[in-house]
Each structure stands twice: as structure tokens, then as C-alpha cells.
Amino acid sequence: EIVLTQSPGILSLSPGERASLSCRASQSVASNYLAWYQQKPGQAPSLLIYGVSTRATGVPDRFSGSGSGTEFTLTISRLEPEDFAVYYCQQYGSSPLNSFGQGTKLDIK
Amino acid sequence: QVTLEESGPALVKPTQTLTLTCTFSGFSLSAPGMRVSWVRQPPGKAPEWLARIDWDDDKFYTTSLKTRLTISKDTSKNQVVLKMSNMDPADTATYYCARGGGYFFFDHWGQGALVTVSS
């Protein structure tokens, strides 16, 4: 099973700043099948990015994904108030076991 | 428009069997390539994939819970059912159904059903 480790656990930033969230895999993620989800309190996770860098429908272009192999990054270019949430990475290149990272909480500073 | 909605008991006793139903619309689970998964999330923790059923009735389970899980579908009703036996307080979580799994990301999720296991 592929283990995903996200860092940092908590990231405290101010609106307008740039955020970089890291996701490291214990082995190479096949076909770059790596997704990112955003979760706000009391809500289900919502798909942000799939295939490492493709934004889901309706996702603003301030969100971008990059990386390959075992190292991946979600970048939010300029934080908006609604971006403060928990972010999870997930790999779907190892079927059927689709694993999630433990999450990064993006806090308002 | 794709929607999924979970239903089931909010409270179950230890050792009981949990039955959750996912009712979906906007797609057909008989269409080639379609699949629906169950994912759970304990309070304050990360999501955990549990099980998946595919359009051709293939079924897959997470290794650690394989002996306790059963997934099934009723294509005519647009429903997927998850049964989890021998419930324990450690199984307290929000249970989500989501479209996707396998070599496909989860593109649509239900709102989740909080299940508490307590005597």
C-alpha cells in the first residue's frame, strides 16, 4: 500500500499570501494518478486537482498542482478567505487501495 | 447533474451490523467504466477508502476490513449498499459514498452520514 505523507500538518498564512502544500508518497505514484481535495468543516471533501495538475471543473486558476514520482505540491497563488480549509492528497494509481494523506490544515494567521 | 446521498442509522450498538444506502442520480452504474466507492472519515482524521463496486459487479475491499464488509448494487434503483458487521466504537465516523475509485479519482461525493457506535 502506498503511504502518503503531507506537510506541514498546519500552515498559518494570511489572505493574499502564497501557500505551498507538500505530499510525499512512499513509492512512485503510477501514471501520476494523484489528486487533491479541499474539505471545509461539516462538508464532504471536494475534488480540486486530478492527474497531478488538472483542475476540476469550476476550480479557480489560483490553485495549481505539480510534481511527479513521489513528490507532489499543491500551490495556492494568492489566498482568498474561502481557501482556509483542510487539504488532502490521494493516489489512485494503485488499485484497488486508494490511499489518502493525513491532511494539511490551512489556517488564517 | 451528479448527486449522491447516504442514508442509514445514526447510532448502532457494538457487535451490530451497519447497513448504509447510497442513492445516486445523474449517471448509471450499468455504464461501462462507472464505479461507486464508500469512504469513511473518523472525527478529525483523514478519509479512508473502504470498498468499491464497478459497473460489471466487480467488488473490492480494503484489506484490513475485508472480512466485515459487503458491497452490493441495485442498478434499477440507482443504489449501492454497504454492510459492515461487528461494529465497534472505533468505527464511529462519517461514511461517504463517492463516484470513482480504482484508477479513477473521486469526482462527486455525498454529504456523508455520521454513524456513532455506542451502547
Phi-psi region of A78 (alpha: psi -120 to 50; beta: other; left: phi over 0): beta
| pLDDT score of B50 more than 90 | yes
Does the pLDDT at position B62 exceed 90? Answer: yes
Q: Which among A31, A33, A97 has the least Cβ separation from residue B49?
A: A97
Chain B contact for A46 (CB, 8 A cutoff): yes
Question: CB A35 to CB B106 under 8 A?
Answer: yes
> Once rounded to an integer, what is the mean pLDDT over residues A53-64?
98
Q: Nearest-CA neighbor of A65 among A17, A31, A23? A: A23
Which grid coordinates belong to B83? 454492510
Report the gap between the CA of B34 and the closest CA in chain A (Å). 14
- Chain A environment of B100 (Cβ under 8 Å): 92
- Identity of the residue in A96, A100, A102 whose CB atom sits nearest the CB atom of B60: A96
Q: How many inter-chain contacts (A to B, CB under 8 Å) are there? A: 64
Q: Which site among A98, A99, A100 would you substitute to test the B interface, given the most B Cβ atoms closer than 10 Å to its Cβ?
A: A98
pLDDT in tens, A64-108: 999 999 999 999 999 999 999 999 999 999 888 899 999 999 999
Given this model, what pLDDT does residue A1 score? 87
Three-class secondary structure assignment of B69-83? EEEEEEHHHCEEEEE
- Whether residue B90 lies within 8 A of chain A, CB to CB, comes out as no
Residue that the C-alpha cell 511527479 belongs to: A68
Give the integer Cα–Cα distance in Å for B39 and B100.
11
Quick one: average pLDDT of A29-46? 96
